[in-house]
């Protein structure tokens, strides 16, 4: 049986429609899922929506809706955007679904039974936008406003159940120290470690249900409380695997995928994923996810995104960008421009430059030169390579760098390294054409075999580049391969991408430019 790979996105709040930040995380996870599927692994890719909590209750009441009505009306925007962006998730979980709610209750029940939960009282500050408790000193430092939204913090004083988080901090520190890839990138891991070493208190994990309009998952041991929205939300990664077993039709349906290989998230929610979640799992004696990867945040045209500044990249703006450039270019741009893990800025000028430079002049030009020459000099049929041409070694070396580095790059979510190798192959092949001058050789009949080798090399390099481009630009890769007379391969990538798999005689078919130049 193929080995499994389980990748997740955060489940997004349904208080508002999706934007570029949500698209970024989801596209990144999709690229991982597509890559590992093409490598032959048994992949599970989960996304979904986070529908409980005070944030949703308030947003619904402002719109004159019930939380469920609001969730139902917003979830379709996420689902539609994922369809438009060619996202290939295997499951979409909503936290208001019974399969999830019942498993959250079971998880909490087990924590209660294991004496991991006790009744206390919470008195302190809460950031409703983040659904996060804020310590007195942090609240004071920020003038009792949210560090993220700037909105005033709310004061709570009420009975609450607490999870014995502090018990698990030492084991967690040990785990993080012993498992270097557990929190990525490294800078974030170090941040988490130093904050943990400053000490962590037990975590309030329930709110009075009456304060939440009776929305949320009731605590199994006390129905006057709802489970804290973050405990409820984090459990989705496990509940979507049909775990824990609770005797329903979802039982353990996808259990073989646990533990997750990577939770892809934004840096804003790292603490929840790198501390609360693994501590809960340790308390339940469940295996921990292998990696939590926290990526950076996007600004837009040099400033924080904001609706009032007019630089907000909403789903509508994403739609316009995709209409202009194509969905694939948007997907590629997000992961190519910024080192995954760092912050980045979205700029239309930069998008156009990268499009014209890397895609139109790079890969697009290489494919069209190759197919044109094969059309003109070989009646459109890929020629068999039958002469030694020294410079071929440079192209093969660039192909080798891509194929041999790809698993490592994807295994550590280093999309920029993967794509740099891919562009390295394109650049090496364009240089190869300039150096070997097939258009000049074509005029000399004695050079036919040399010409054949050169054209075969170009076509083979483009084929390999397109195979590796497919997780980022699936439709483009399909169109490009069709111009080489090929289908997308069903074989595992490592087999399909071996040098020389391109059959001589493949009938090329000059199609429309992959990337028409933009002015």
Q: How far is the CB of 56 from ligand ME8 (least distance, A)?
A: 10
Q: Within a 10 A sphere around the Cβ of 507, how many other Cβ atoms?
A: 12
Closer residue to ligand ME8 (CB): 233 or 470: 233
Cα gap 47→61, rounded to integer Å:
26
Q: Is 264 helix (H, G, I), strand (E, B) or coil?
A: strand
Q: How far is the CB of 23 from ligand ME8 (least distance, A)?
A: 9
Cα gap 319→325, rounded to integer Å:
10
Q: How far is the CB of 244 from ligand ME8 (least distance, A)?
A: 17
Cα gap 258→284, rounded to integer Å:
14
Site residues, ligand ME8 (CB under 6 A): 10-13, 21-22, 24-25, 50, 233-234, 265-266, 268-269, 297-298, 305
Cα gap 165→144, rounded to integer Å:
25
Closer residue to ligand ME8 (CB): 174 or 307: 307
Closer residue to ligand ME8 (CB): 313 or 465: 313
Closer residue to ligand ME8 (CB): 245 or 303: 303
Closer residue to ligand ME8 (CB): 265 or 451: 265
Rg (CA), the chain: 26
Closer residue to ligand ME8 (CB): 23 or 371: 23
Cα gap 232→240, rounded to integer Å:
12
Closer residue to ligand ME8 (CB): 165 or 305: 305
C-alpha angle 44/14/49, rounded to 5°? 15
Put the strands of the sheet holding 222-227 in their side by side order: 206-208, 222-227, 218-219
Q: How far is the CB of 402 from ligand ME8 (least distance, A)?
A: 27
In the complex, residue closest to ligand ME8 by CB? 21
- Residue 182, both tokens: 């557990």
Q: How far is the CB of 96 from ligand ME8 (least distance, A)?
A: 13
Closer residue to ligand ME8 (CB): 148 or 435: 148
4-13 and 222-227 strand pairing: unpaired
Closer residue to ligand ME8 (CB): 156 or 297: 297
Residues 6+ positions from 468 with CB-CB distance below 8 Å: 402, 403, 406, 418, 422, 493, 497
Q: How far is the CB of 239 from ligand ME8 (least distance, A)?
A: 11
Closer residue to ligand ME8 (CB): 127 or 328: 127
Q: How far is the CB of 202 from ligand ME8 (least distance, A)?
A: 20
- Residue 47, both tokens: 């996304």
Residues β-bridged to residue 340: 342
* Closest among 95, 71, 89 to 235, alpha carbons compared: 95
Q: How far is the CB of 11 from ligand ME8 (least distance, A)?
A: 5
Do residues 105 and 193 lie in contact, with contact meaning Cβ atoms separated by under 8 Å? no
Q: How far is the CB of 447 from ligand ME8 (least distance, A)?
A: 53
Q: Is 275 helix (H, G, I), strand (E, B) or coil?
A: helix
Q: How far is the CB of 445 from ligand ME8 (least distance, A)?
A: 58
- Tell the residue number behind the tokens 């912050």, with chain if given: 343
The DSSP letter of residue 217 is P
Q: Is 158 helix (H, G, I), strand (E, B) or coil?
A: strand
Alpha carbon distances (Å) from 405 to 28, 215, 290, 360: 18, 48, 21, 25
């Amino acid at each position: 049986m193929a080995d499994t790979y389980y990748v997740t996105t955060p489940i997004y709040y349904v208080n508002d429609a999706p934007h570029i930040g949500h698209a970024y995380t989801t596209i990144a996870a999709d690229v991982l899922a597509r890559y590992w599927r093409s490598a032959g692994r048994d992949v599970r890719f989960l996304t979904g929506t986070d529908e409980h909590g005070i944030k949703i209750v308030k947003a619904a009441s402002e719109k004159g809706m019930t939380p469920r009505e609001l969730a139902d009306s917003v979830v379709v925007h996420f689902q539609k955007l994922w369809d438009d962006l060619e996202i290939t998730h295997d499951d979409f979980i909503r936290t208001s679904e019974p399969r999830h709610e019942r498993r959250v209750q079971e998880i909490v029940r087990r924590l209660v039974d294991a004496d991991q939960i006790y009744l206390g009282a919470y008195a302190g500050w809460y950031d409703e936008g983040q659904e996060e408790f804020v310590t007195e000193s942090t609240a004071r430092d920020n003038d009792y406003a949210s560090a993220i939204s700037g909105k005033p913090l709310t004061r709570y004083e009420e009975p609450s159940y607490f999870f014995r988080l502090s018990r698990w901090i030492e084991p967690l520190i040990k785990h993080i120290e012993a498992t270097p890839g557990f929190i990525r990138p490294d800078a974030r891991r170090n941040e988490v470690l130093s904050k943990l070493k400053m000490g962590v208190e037990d975590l309030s994990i329930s709110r009075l249900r009456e304060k939440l309009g009776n929305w949320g998952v009731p605590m199994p041991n006390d129905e006057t409380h709802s489970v804290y929205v973050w405990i409820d939300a984090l459990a989705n990664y496990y509940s979507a695997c049909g775990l824990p077993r609770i005797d329903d039709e979802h039982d353990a349906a996808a259990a073989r995928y646990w533990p997750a290989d990577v939770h892809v998230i934004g840096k804003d929610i790292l603490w929840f994923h790198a501390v609360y979640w693994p501590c809960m799992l340790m308390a339940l004696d469940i295996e921990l996810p292998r990696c939590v990867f926290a990526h950076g945040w996007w600004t837009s045209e040099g400033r924080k995104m904001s609706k009032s500044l007019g630089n907000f990249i909403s789903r509508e703006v994403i739609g316009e960008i995709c209409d202009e450039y194509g969905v694939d270019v948007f997907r590629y741009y997000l992961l190519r421009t910024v080192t995954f893990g760092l912050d980045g800025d979205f700029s239309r000028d930069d998008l156009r430059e990268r499009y014209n430079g890397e895609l139109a002049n790079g890969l697009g030009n290489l494919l069209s030169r190759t197919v044109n020459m094969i059309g003109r000099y070989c009646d459109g049929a890929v020629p068999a390579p039958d002469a030694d041409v020294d410079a071929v070694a440079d192209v093969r070396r660039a192909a080798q760098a891509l194929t041999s580095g790809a698993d490592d790059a994807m295994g550590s979510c280093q999309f920029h390294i993967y794509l740099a190798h891919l562009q390295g192959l394109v650049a090496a092949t364009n240089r190869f054409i300039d150096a070997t001058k097939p258009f000049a050789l074509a005029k000399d009949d004695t050079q036919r075999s040399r010409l054949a080798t050169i054209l075969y090399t170009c076509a083979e390099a483009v084929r390999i580049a397109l195979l590796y481009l497919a997780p980022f630009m699936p439709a483009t890769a399909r169109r490009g391969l069709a111009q080489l007379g090929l289908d997308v391969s069903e074989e595992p990538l490592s087999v399909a991408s071996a040098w020389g798999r391109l059959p001589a005689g493949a009938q090329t078919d000059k199609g429309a430019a992959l990337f028409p130049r933009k002015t």
